[in-house]
């Protein structure tokens, strides 16, 4: 799996947001819960993961292809923040 670093943290969180937004199955689904926990508010100009960078798009595609589990990825983002790198 791609490693989350200080250089790509935003892209990782951004990709997870759009993945959960595009693939949740209603407000009681696990992906919707992740979407809420991320607490990310996209700008009006945002509409998909590829809008930011190739790296965000790469994270997004890994999520879509189920090469990354969304819950595990979220937990990695949280751990990264807790380390304060």
Stretch 38-57: mean pLDDT = 77
Average pLDDT on 20-41 reads: 91
Crossing angle for the helix pair 9-23 and 54-64, nearest 10 degrees? 40
The domain locations on the chain are: 9-40+51-83
Span of 13-17, 26-30, 40-44 with lowest mean pLDDT: 40-44
pLDDT of 51 > 90? The answer is: no
- Give mean pLDDT, residues 46-55: 73
Measured torsion, CA atoms of residues 77, 8, 59, 17, in degrees rounded to the nearest 10: 50
């Amino acid at each position: 799996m791609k490693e989350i670093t200080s250089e790509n943290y935003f892209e990782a969180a951004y990709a997870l947001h759009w993945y959960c937004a595009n693939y949740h199955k209603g407000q009681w689904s696990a992906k919707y819960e992740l979407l809420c926990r991320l607490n990310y508010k996209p700008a009006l100009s945002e509409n998909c993961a590829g809008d930011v960078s190739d790296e965000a798009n790469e994270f997004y595609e890994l999520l879509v292809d189920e090469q990354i589990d969304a819950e595990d990825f979220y937990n990695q983002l949280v751990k990264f923040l807790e380390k304060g790198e």
